[in-house]
Amino acid sequence: MKIPQNKTLLELNLGLLFISTSGVMGRYISMSPPVTVWWRCALGMVFLWMYCRWSGVSLKVILKRDRLVIFISSFLLVAHWITYFYALHWSNVAIAFITLYTFPAMTTLLEPLLLKTGFNKFHLLLGVLVLVGVYVMMPDIDLGNSNFLGMMIGLVSALCFAMRNIYSRDLAQQYDGSHLMWVQLVIGTVLLVPVLFMFENNDFTSQWEALLFLGIVTTALGHTLFLRSFKYFSISTASLLASIIPIYGILLALIFLGEVPSFRTIIGGALVLSTVVIESFRVRIK
């Protein structure tokens, strides 16, 4: 039976909206980022396991030759989430989201270096455009300026995410996306157990609803709906539509947190996001 495209497009946008709630949740939850990310991994892991069992997705053991790569990609995912939540704590949703979305340009620059492929001159041009956008957004270089610190650690988050995606590229050809995400959440949960003894965890009783939302809706449901869209849309099309995530995130922050992005953030963010749209269109029409 053919599924109506309007329904699949609605599911995709719903998934992107769920993913974009990470900004508001990250600002709302007052727990330290490492502890918040542990709960995100743990709750997402449980819910995604239930989803895989319900949908019949096999959770077969990762082959021995792939275990080091899956461990590295899981570590990078955890590092990406922790630094992203620090960016949210130190700056605001707009800055955190836009600096995170420098990852496509970072990916196009890192991939030739890590995988020993040739550089694409057009990608270098897009990389320059991203740098210009970041420069426009950048506040005064001052370690006492929380927005500056938030932007810097946001760029570290983007770097971790770009490297995680590069390391996961071959794995995605061999394993189901939900299976891969579940394994990464399991490893992330185990890796972060020590943070429960290093940071305060007393706020769980007052913020369990937000943590549950982050683990189930933002992480498990959001990413599952996004992965499901690959059955009905090309990855290029899905990636193009995913560039709306920062817009959703900034609008949610405006509605629920009253955060209004500055003019410089809007201009710089437009330059950064334009590279995502340009590259997505370019790939789509090849």
In contact, 98 and 272? CB cutoff 8 Å:
yes
Q: What is the pTM of this model?
A: 0.86
Mean pLDDT of the chain: 84
Query: How many whole angstroms separate alpha carbon 9 and alpha carbon 19?
Result: 15
- The answer to whether 187 and 71 are in contact (CB under 8 A) is yes
CB 84 within 8 A of CB 34: no
pLDDT tens per residue across span 109-166: 787 777 777 667 777 787 778 878 888 887 776 777 888 899 999 999 999 988 888 8
Helix axes 235-242, 263-284, angle to 10 degrees: 170
CA distances from 49 to 46, 59, 188 (A): 5, 9, 14
- Please tell me the number of Cα atoms within 13 Å of 194 on its side-chain side: 1
Angle at which helices 103-115 and 121-137 cross, to 10°: 140
Q: What is the pLDDT of residue 234?
A: 56
Identify the residue whose tokens are 């794995």.
Answer: 171
Q: Tell me: the pLDDT tens digits for 253-282?
A: 999 999 998 888 889 888 877 876 776 666
- Per residue in 104-115, pLDDT (tens digit) is 778 777 877 777
